[in-house]
Amino acid sequence: MLSMILGLIIEAINSIFVGHLGQEDVMAGVGMANMYMNVTCLSLLFGMNMVLNTVASQASGFGDLRMCGIYLN
């Protein structure tokens, strides 16, 4: 939760700093860069985190703590 909040704060700070320049094309570029980062990087990482959550929970439920440790490492 903290990482998601910090990610949003970083995007807001980028927008604030570039917004003070008064150039609309640069502001549009920052918006596109933030969108590209969210779509490509964050969605991929969140998807992999969801898969890891599922397989680690299954390994723990089966009592296979060795595999659970391997998944989490």
Candidates 39, 61, 31; CA nearest to 71 is 61
Which residue spans within the chain are E strands per DSSP? Answer: none
pLDDT single digits (tens) 25-44: 888 888 888 888 888 877 88
- Mean predicted confidence (pLDDT) in 9-27: 84
Position 19 scores a pLDDT of 83
Percent of the chain clearing pLDDT 90 (strictly above): 4
Q: Are 18 and 26 in contact (CB under 8 A)?
A: yes
Q: For position 69, what pLDDT does the model report?
A: 87
Contact assessment for residue 31 and residue 23, using Cβ atoms and an 8 Å cutoff: no
Contact 70/52 with Cβ under 8 angstroms?
no
Computed from CA positions of residues 57, 60, 66, 67, in that sequence, does the dihedral angle turn out positive or negative? negative
pLDDT above 70 covers a percentage of the chain that reads 100
